[in-house]
A and B are shown apart, each in its own frame.
Chain A
Amino acid sequence: MNYEPIIGLEVHIELETKSKMFCSCSAGYFNAKPNTHTCPVCLGLPGAMPVANKKAIEYAQKFGIALGCDLRLKSKFDRKNYFYPDLAKGFQISQYELPFSHKGAIEITVDGKVKRIGITRAHLEEDTGKLTHAQIKGKKVTLIDFNRSGVPLLEIVSEPDMKSALEAKAYAQKLQQIARYLKVSSADMEEGSMRIEPNVSLRRVSKSQRAKVSKLPDYKVELKNINSFRFAQKAINFEIERQSKLLDKGEKVSQETRGWNEKENKTVSQRSKEEAHDYRYFPEPDLPPLSFTSSRKAEITMTIPELPDEKFERFKKQYKLSQVDAQILTADQKIADFFEEANKAYRKKDPKKVANWITGELLRRLNEQGKSISEIELLPASLAELLYLIDKGDITQNQAKEVFEQMIRIGKGAQLVIKTLGVQQMTQLDLQKLVNKIIAQNNKAVDDFKVGKVASLGFLIGQIQREAKGQADANLAKNLLLEKLKK
């Protein structure tokens, strides 16, 4: 039997505002001492009331627009009621009926094919505290850290438009990329500032039916505890496998929430449909309904930078870059900016060369050093300077690579690094002398060349380079050699 996976994603992204969603506590909780970023509001003390964070609302709306959503001019907050020890108030302030934005779509590319994924809604809510299960003096305890309680959280719900784990991964990565482009979140899966919960179900299809639109399955399985794209992919694939086996046996797949167990590489049941919460949503009475003007909407739209897709198209067109280069350069906005600045500083109008140095050398070195572009001090102009020195013939291509590695490491300009490294190119006069010397020492190779064995030219250039310790310009050496040999 053939099955078609139906996958939708709920993605939570923490918005990196200075303060929390409903109080003035710092929202930067990562690595902070437990329960130091708290106040009556985020601790849910009696009588404390929420005050909505304007910046967070703006970020949420901005994200919505970037996802191609309709921005609602009238919106409100609602209470989502449920009990859990990490939820200080016994309810979460969220948005139910009127999310800030809805009905959008983004494009993903998988195996060279572009696909549109619908966005159902993007709404703002608050994060919960964090539970840690520990053992203290031999006693099992659960500790609560409320530093995260009340951190603004954007929930983006997709349409069930994805058909494979790869598509789901590509979609999630696209959201991460957009979050970073918008500078509203680092959207880091490991740190928990981005969390994804896929819904997976299978639809039976026969070959002839494949193209036809048919009804969605009457169940879905929600996957939780996923803290990397890799796990998301694994969990979805596991689920597809598990569900198809059940269906093959003629069994019904039950609607439930399952968690990814990374040790055992499988999903395990967490909560069945019967145990599902009734959240008893109702309008948050402590926060008046919100209304926005269309000019405010225009204002926010203005603050949206060029997004990955647009930048990718522009790079291809403006710089005549290949699909692959444009893809790599625009994956990270900071890399893209680095490229554009370096290209501007390098006046030779050779974007391909600049791109090669970035996609090849820069990204390789960063990878080796385990760093991101924002962690190094290298200036885009320094790369231009280096390229200029190569063009001028001051250093060779090989030398330049070595110099560049140092530049990345210490964040200094090309000239300075060359000085410290003592890198220098041989003068033409010295090179001429060396060429004469090598010819004199390698009679056999010279004779071979003269009878037409072209390969021996390479051998001679190699000899020159060895003697010159890499400081000879290979092209110049070749030309001088040929000149001499043809006499």
Chain B
Amino acid sequence: MINTQKLTIQEASKLIAEKKISAVEITQSFLERAKKLNAKLNSFITICSDEALKQAKKIDELISDNQRLSPLAGIPIAVKDLFSTKGIKTTAGSKVLENYVPAYSATVVKKLLDENVICIGKTNLDAWGHGSSGENSDFGPTKNPYDLERVPGGSSSGSGAAVAAGQCLAATGTDTGSSVRLPAAFCNLVGLKPTYGLVSRSGVIAMASSLDSIGHLTKTVYDNALVLNTTAGKDFFDSTTQEKKVGDYTKNINRGVKNLKIGLPKEYFGNLDKDIKEKTLAAVKVLEKLGAKIEEVSLPHTKYGVATYYIIQPSEVSSNLARYDGIRFGFGRENFGEEAKRRIILGTYTLSAGYYDAYYLKAMKVRRLIKEDFEKAHKKVDVIICPTSPTLPFKIGEKSDDPLKMYLSDIFVVNQNLAGVPSLNVPCGFIDNLSKSSGVGLPVGMQIVGPHFSEELLYQVGYAYEQETKFYERRPEL
């Protein structure tokens, strides 16, 4: 019997192609684990056994027919409950949409299903994507598989926990200002926040439309590139997408980092946990040893990032949440949670006549400066490496009473969204002494940030580092 939970997509894909395991078998095995661990982790809002098994049977038929299938065929994945799935309840983690069943699927979901991926369920999240810890879900917080007392990071909290715990092989996420990278960092995963405009947002419940990036979480860099092969590309239904997709993101993945210039932004190494700083700098040393050139760069407007983000994002949120009036679908506005209400009020204020210029417009100007920071830095270096989170995964409840403290968890991750640049979180070690439940330590992640549409390069750097370190092999014991 194959131990499926330790598999990567790359490995599972090979087993399926060689008919060593059927799509139904692998699906059943992940469904079982998803159900079994859900009580512990609360990573799923909905597990769709029937739909998953139906899809698996179809794929087995295609395989026995000897049809040429994509490397993602038969791969069980999970979908963040912010992605519309036709016929399957989509809650956005909010009581407002507790009974909402979409009439159509998000483009990304459609693309994945067309590639014969198996969706085993919808993952938990901070309601509407509002949060950095997963604690804002109306369906209860998700637990970090590496330490059940700690948060898995948010808002794609369920996606992070599910992949880390081996409940699925990959999960989709959205990243408006941390939501893929923070869970990836907290759960020892590879998480991509793609360039704004590379992956379609159509059908994904909007949080802040000018910032929302549609990403995904996997165990390895290679797996991550495989998923992007399917999700990337211009979509008619999302006018902000561009035709910038690279044919195959895995093709040049092992080119290495020799002579590549890596920049370390000085503004990102001041105020953070010293262990995280140490781990990140150690990772940079590994890359240096592999032939990369390291130099310091400056992103001078970094410190304005959180303030800018917390004007633009709630402004757009206040407008995007206006449609949830309970008239055509879902329940009424009285069901909005605290955080959604807070953002609606903030955003309504910053867009109001008389305040617009001082807040929204000013924030948009700063946003441009932040974008220019990255452009200037990328003229000097190929990629930038910096920490993803200033702290290790924190305890459930530790920050939930203090929104400002919670917002500051995003200090290293919002600027990439404001600039629209891609960023890949890659595991860069563990802090051992803190862990309680899993015995392998608490994961640390770092970001590899590149210019617009440089995902191929990010994978190249991430892969080189990962091959040296293989932190992904350290799975939690549950």
Give A residues with C-beta under 8 Å from B: 40, 43-52, 79, 81, 83, 85, 88-91, 144, 278, 280-282, 285-288
Give the complex CA separation of A23 and B203 in angstroms: 14
What per-residue 1/0 map shows which CB atoms of B408-424 lie under 8 Å from chain A?
00000000000000000
**Chain B CB within 10 Å — which of A47, A285, A286 has the most?**
A47
Which of B83, B104, B327 contacts A40, CB < 8 Å?
A: B104
Q: Does B162 contact A (CB under 8 A)?
A: no
Identify the 5 closest CB pairs spanning chains A and B, nearest first. Answer: A90-B322, A285-B210, A285-B209, A280-B351, A47-B203
Give B residues with C-beta under 8 Å from A: 83-84, 90, 92, 97, 100, 102-104, 106, 201-206, 208-210, 236-240, 315-316, 318-319, 321-325, 327-329, 348, 351-353, 356, 360
Give the complex CA separation of A109 and B398 in angstroms: 74
- Residues of A close to B318: CB separation below 8 A: 81, 280
Contact across chains for A282 and B319 when beta carbons are under 8 A apart: yes
Contact across chains for B239 and A49 when beta carbons are under 8 A apart: yes
- Residues of A close to B106: CB separation below 8 A: 47
Which of A45, A83, A85, A285 contacts B322, CB < 8 Å?
A: A83
Give the complex CA separation of A118 and B83 in angstroms: 48
| Nearest opposing residue in chain A for B242, CB measure | A288
Contact across chains for A49 and B238 when beta carbons are under 8 A apart: yes
Give the complex CA separation of A51 and B201 in angstroms: 13
| Nearest opposing residue in chain B for A79, CB measure | B319
Complex A-B: 16 CB contacts under 8 Å: A45-B104, A45-B328, A46-B329, A47-B204, A47-B205, A81-B351, A83-B322, A90-B321, A280-B351, A282-B316, A282-B319, A285-B210, A285-B240, A285-B316, A286-B238, A286-B240
From residue B228, how far is it (CB to closest CB) to chain A in Å?
20
- Residues of A close to B104: CB separation below 8 A: 40, 45, 48
Which of B240, B328, B352 contacts A288, CB < 8 Å?
A: B240
Contact across chains for A45 and B316 when beta carbons are under 8 A apart: no
Contact across chains for A45 and B210 when beta carbons are under 8 A apart: no
- Residues of B close to A285: CB separation below 8 A: 208-210, 240, 316
Contact across chains for B102 and A46 when beta carbons are under 8 A apart: yes
Q: A278-B353, A280-B351, A282-B360 are in contact. Are A46 and B319 (CB under 8 A)?
A: no
From residue A53, how far is it (CB to closest CB) to chain B in Å?
11
Give the complex CA separation of A281 and B327 in angstroms: 24
Q: A46-B84, A47-B106, A288-B240 are in contact. Are A278 and B323 (CB under 8 A)?
A: no
From residue B333, how far is it (CB to closest CB) to chain A in Å?
10
Contact across chains for A288 and B319 when beta carbons are under 8 A apart: no
Give the complex CA separation of A91 and B206 in angstroms: 14
Q: A45-B102, A90-B325, A280-B348 are in contact. Are A52 and B210 (CB under 8 A)?
A: no
- Residues of B close to A46: CB separation below 8 A: 84, 90, 92, 97, 100, 102, 205-206, 323-324, 329
Q: A83-B325, A285-B210 are in contact. Are A51 and B319 (CB under 8 A)?
A: no
Contact across chains for B360 and A288 when beta carbons are under 8 A apart: no
Contact across chains for A51 and B322 when beta carbons are under 8 A apart: no
| Nearest opposing residue in chain A for B210, CB measure | A285
Known: A46-B324, A282-B315, A288-B239. 5 other contacts (CB 8 A): A45-B102, A45-B103, A47-B203, A48-B104, A79-B319
Contact across chains for B319 and A280 when beta carbons are under 8 A apart: yes
